[in-house]
Amino acid sequence: MGYGYYSTVKTVDTSGELLMSGGQQNSFFLVKNLGPATVFIGGVVNPEAPPTADQSSTGGYPLDEGESTQIPTWAADSRDLYGITAEGTAYVAILSMD
């Protein structure tokens, strides 16, 4: 266990982007939408697709420009987290601690 911090910025668009891989040893992730578009975050809807960018049953959790959320993780958690926009591009900052 490293007990350190890791940060990155991911580009998210209408095709979807893997934000965090499951099974990492991190204890939490802070995810902040730097904008300018709303980012919908969530797990895979099926093995081939990220969440959809809407409020349907397959839609992700909306993270508006400037909003952030903390996501706790566990080493045994194998779920991936994706982000997608309805239109345009957004930038998502991620800070994790292990």
**Structure confidence at residue 88 (pLDDT):** 94
List, in order of start, the domains of the chain with CATH numbers: 5-97 (2.60.120.10)
pLDDT of residue 49: 65
Looking at residue 68, its pLDDT comes to: 96
Please tell me which residue, 54 or 64, carries the higher pLDDT value.
64
pTM: 0.81
3-state percent breakdown (helix, strand, coil) of the chain, nearest 5? 0, 50, 50
Q: What is the mean pLDDT of residues 27-32?
A: 84
Q: How far apart are CA 55 and CA 71, in angstroms?
A: 20
Q: Give the pLDDT of residue 75.
A: 53
